[in-house]
A and B are shown apart, each in its own frame.
Chain A
């Protein structure tokens, strides 16, 4: 594959950001730990052994810096610390902490280097280490790419162990009993005579000694929490209405705002008439903001009403106004000039394509909105000396940098108070709510401004999933797929997203264009996967599973078509072609779970798909029935391998949610543009899956791979191709474009 040569001409997303950002790149700097951000705020008698564990006379507080956007990582992070700290759920508090470089994400490096995740060669690992240095130097604290468990697994258990051993040392100094005679359990050190010294009691002593960092982590057989059924810490609050989200917060003297900016995203505002709005009850001000206006009122609904009462003259969109033009740009972008990278080329594909009858197909994946149920919102207070923001966000330090740039304040005086989010799916990687809330707050200094987007504004300004197009060509010889060529074209989500986050457009190819397809685990004599980068169209952003949400659909649909053209069974052929043990075991698991090959009866069909994204291989089998009312999805079987399941109940819930996300959007959701504006404005236009459409889903978590991986995104990509493959099996109709309801009815 000439990997070294390929690497030589590649720049890396994060590495290049480090270079462009002017970060000194040296081994010394890379190996030096960040300062512990908890130290500065410690009061007398409070101890912080590392950035994740803080203890005072009353409370053990575990800092959980990954943003909880519904995936349960607040709980997961605490459990990893608690496992080694010997403290039980309920005996500690959790806090998202202050954004800080010390919370950089060690696992971003896994996807930041352009290698297949299964590639554990020296070259791949070395490049990951280098990218890892960059993420550390940049202090890239962030939640995304299904990295939270991978980032936390060793780091947080170590943090717990360091705290435990330090507390034991403190107990030893207090009691005179040697450390090796001390035990720990239930948030206390136990002396040989049974005396309990609570960690909180030991805080003052522990604060005076250097943390004990020479620790050995426990073996899996000794775990009492990890891998066991447990109650997620937020479940009771989320079942009683007590969970506060950013949108629920209230401050003294707070005003309520809403905003409308040009629905042609990025287009200007030429003028607006706010006369009627200003006279409406409760309206305090109508303010100009970038490309739009904001209403400040004494109540959210009154702000919404006033926003709706304002007529504006909107400028043109900085991208093609009509959807058909977007598709045209894509279809014309499969050119040598726009070749982003040849990610994989086994054998000789051009020669293979000459050698026989070519089976070909073209696929499409539309723009899709994130539309988490909690609309974008933020509370911001700007004074002459500092700014504070309360919102849920996946990139906390970027938020602070963003506001520092806007206000001219030193970033040290900008504080994000991160919040639980009512979903994200990538939406809270963006900065629209940050920008507008801050613009309003800058015009109303010292007043807490709560900005709430209407659902319609949220849809209009949701930077959606990239549209993409895929072209497959295959040559079958007898019952063998001899040649398979996949070309995938999309705009680069990272190129669109980077500048909005204050990052330079990353040089080099974008792996997300082909993610989930180039790494298909199949041995085919001639196999090529190429990415083509379309010019930027509508602004796009990372959407749960990012590139694999389109490339996985293209790859696994076309592999299915090729297998069927060869007269083979889709499951048996995949297993036979699979050259990656971890993947094959996922396929074998779903084959067994679904009783693949058993008769289903008339008008029914099964489809299988396998996609590995973010390092997690996932196989899914979908069963459908063609009824008089349309396609009914009956059952789904899933096998996913994350190396180690930390929280089995949440894992199961998450896999099912990912499948439903993947199926629902494949069924019925897209964003299309007309006159430069998204045509979909609320959930009736893009509803995803409803409960009555939900199949019975059976989940198996496998633990065969050596690395620890995430589960937030990987169940999504196989769902759409497995559904399309099942519909073909049931009806003979091949669906090559999402959403499928443009071509077939669903029950």
Chain B
């Protein structure tokens, strides 16, 4: 089985029913996507498949029909994606465990909706759980990122 992650093609010998999350984490050692709930309730595992946000804990690797991007492929400290830069500027993270998923969700959402209203942001981001309660800063960071992306 072949899988392209962050631009690199990997050959895998795994069961097609293994969730993408565990292929990434345990087989490919890409640990940015996190295990939180395993049933698409928390969003910590969010990655992009062909640019769209998916819960990698709840899609089997066999069902992945596009290129996968994880938080590691979105941007790096030296070259932050606009969403990551906004997350840094607003110092969103507390424990940070959910933030890879939050950022991937926000990046995909802003790709589809470049001028979101407050309600749009609430709707798009509410399936991502943050137990530390960083939601006020997530809202602000999404707005900042939207602005940056529009100016680019």
Contact B35 A375 (CB under 8 A): yes
Contact B22 A300 (CB under 8 A): yes
Which residues of B are found within 8 Å of A375, using beta-carbon distances? 35-36
Contact A423 B133 (CB under 8 A): no
Contact A239 B92 (CB under 8 A): yes
Contact A373 B131 (CB under 8 A): yes
Residues 47 to 78 of chain B near chain A (Cβ within 8 Å):
70-72, 75-77
Q: Is A256 an interface residue (CB 8 A)?
A: yes
Task: Name B132's contact: one of A239, A423, A452 (CB within 8 Å).
Answer: A423
Task: Name A656's contact: one of B36, B77, B133 (CB within 8 Å).
Answer: B133
Q: Is B26 an interface residue (CB 8 A)?
A: yes
Contact B135 A689 (CB under 8 A): yes
Q: Is B93 an interface residue (CB 8 A)?
A: yes
How many B residues face the partner with a CB closer than 8 A? Answer: 60
Which residues of B are found within 8 Å of A684, using beta-carbon distances? 39, 41
Which residues of B are found within 8 Å of A451, using beta-carbon distances? none
With both chains docked as a complex, state the minimum distance between the C-beta of A655 and any C-beta of chain B, in angstroms. 10
Q: Is A210 an interface residue (CB 8 A)?
A: no
Contact A300 B26 (CB under 8 A): yes
Tell me the bound Cα distance from A72 to B31 in angstroms: 21
Q: Is A454 an interface residue (CB 8 A)?
A: yes
Bitwise interface map of A from 124 to 136 toward B, beta carbon under 8 Å scored 1, else 0? 0000000000000
With both chains docked as a complex, state the minimum distance between the C-beta of A251 and any C-beta of chain B, in angstroms. 12
Tell me the bound Cα distance from A82 to B133 in angstroms: 29
Contact A687 B22 (CB under 8 A): no
Q: Is B37 an interface residue (CB 8 A)?
A: yes
Tell me the bound Cα distance from A617 to B114 in angstroms: 43
Once A and B bind, how many residue pairs between them come within 8 Å at the CB atom? 187
A373-B44 contact given A689-B133, A689-B135, A697-B136, CB 8 Å threshold: yes
Contact A248 B135 (CB under 8 A): no
Q: Which of B31, B76, B91: most chain A Cβ within 10 A?
A: B91
Bitwise interface map of B from 75 to 118 toward A, beta carbon under 8 Å scored 1, else 0? 11100100010011001111111111001000000000000000
Tell me the bound Cα distance from A423 to B96 in angstroms: 8
Tell me the bound Cα distance from A423 to B93 in angstroms: 11
Tell me the bound Cα distance from A221 to B27 in angstroms: 54
Q: Is A682 an interface residue (CB 8 A)?
A: yes
Tell me the bound Cα distance from A684 to B58 in angstroms: 15
Task: Name B99's contact: one of A239, A256, A656 (CB within 8 Å).
Answer: A239
With both chains docked as a complex, state the minimum distance between the C-beta of A714 and any C-beta of chain B, in angstroms. 14
Contact B71 A371 (CB under 8 A): no
Q: Is B144 an interface residue (CB 8 A)?
A: no
With both chains docked as a complex, state the minimum distance between the C-beta of A85 and any C-beta of chain B, in angstroms. 23
A70-B26 contact given A236-B88, A373-B34, A654-B94, CB 8 Å threshold: no
With both chains docked as a complex, state the minimum distance between the C-beta of A319 and any C-beta of chain B, in angstroms. 27
Residues 243 to 263 of chain A near chain B (Cβ within 8 Å):
243-245, 247-248, 250, 256
Q: Is A599 an interface residue (CB 8 A)?
A: no
Bitwise interface map of A from 678 to 690 toward B, beta carbon under 8 Å scored 1, else 0? 0000111001111
Q: Is B4 an interface residue (CB 8 A)?
A: no
Contact B29 A696 (CB under 8 A): no
User: SS class of chain A's interface: helix, strand, loop or mixed?
Assistant: loop
A422-B96 contact given A300-B26, A373-B44, A657-B132, CB 8 Å threshold: yes
Task: Name A455's contact: one of B33, B37, B92, B121 (CB within 8 Å).
Answer: B37
Contact B135 A691 (CB under 8 A): yes
Stretch of A9-17, A332-340, A360-368, A659-667 contacting B (4+ beta carbons < 8 Å): A659-667
Q: Is B18 an interface residue (CB 8 A)?
A: yes
A250 (CB) vs chain B CBs: closest residue: B29
With both chains docked as a complex, state the minimum distance between the C-beta of B130 and any C-beta of chain A, in angstroms. 8
A244 (CB) vs chain B CBs: closest residue: B31
Which residues of A are found within 8 Å of B80, using beta-carbon distances? 239-240
Q: Is A694 an interface residue (CB 8 A)?
A: yes
Contact B77 A683 (CB under 8 A): no
Tell me the bound Cα distance from A664 to B97 in angstroms: 19
Which residues of A are found within 8 Å of B41, using beta-carbon distances? 682-684, 687
Tell me the bound Cα distance from A69 to B77 in angstroms: 22
Task: Name B136's contact: one of A70, A232, A373, A696 (CB within 8 Å).
Answer: A696
Contact B123 A692 (CB under 8 A): yes
Which residues of B are found within 8 Å of A656, using beta-carbon distances? 133-134, 136-137
Which residues of A are found within 8 Å of B15, using beta-carbon distances? 281
Which residues of B are found within 8 Å of A688, using beta-carbon distances? 129, 131
Task: Name A238's contact: one of B21, B72, B96, B139 (CB within 8 Å).
Answer: B96
Contact B95 A422 (CB under 8 A): yes
Which residues of A are found within 8 Å of B123, using beta-carbon distances? 692
Q: Which of A239, A240, A420: most chain B Cβ within 10 A?
A: A239
With both chains docked as a complex, state the minimum distance between the C-beta of B22 and any C-beta of chain A, in angstroms. 4
Contact B87 A69 (CB under 8 A): no
B41 (CB) vs chain A CBs: closest residue: A683
Task: Name A235's contact: one of B38, B93, B133 (CB within 8 Å).
Answer: B93
Contact B129 A659 (CB under 8 A): no
Tell me the bound Cα distance from A371 to B132 in angstroms: 11
Q: Which of B44, B80, B134, B136: most chain A Cβ within 10 A?
A: B136
Contact B138 A691 (CB under 8 A): yes
A690-B22 contact given A70-B132, A659-B133, A660-B135, CB 8 Å threshold: no
Q: Which of B84, B95, B126, B130: most chain A Cβ within 10 A?
A: B95
A247-B34 contact given A70-B132, A301-B19, A691-B122, CB 8 Å threshold: yes
A249 (CB) vs chain B CBs: closest residue: B31
Which residues of B are found within 8 Å of A697, using beta-carbon distances? 136
Q: Is A51 an interface residue (CB 8 A)?
A: no
Task: Name B36's contact: one of A281, A373, A421, A661 (CB within 8 Å).
Answer: A373
Task: Name A301's contact: one of B22, B37, B44, B127 (CB within 8 Å).
Answer: B22
11 contacts between A and B (CB under 8 A): A70-B95, A231-B88, A241-B71, A242-B32, A244-B31, A248-B31, A281-B15, A421-B95, A661-B133, A664-B133, A687-B129
Pairs of residues from A and B, 8 with the lowest C-beta to C-beta distance, nearest first: A70-B95, A241-B32, A422-B97, A660-B133, A238-B96, A241-B71, A657-B133, A301-B22
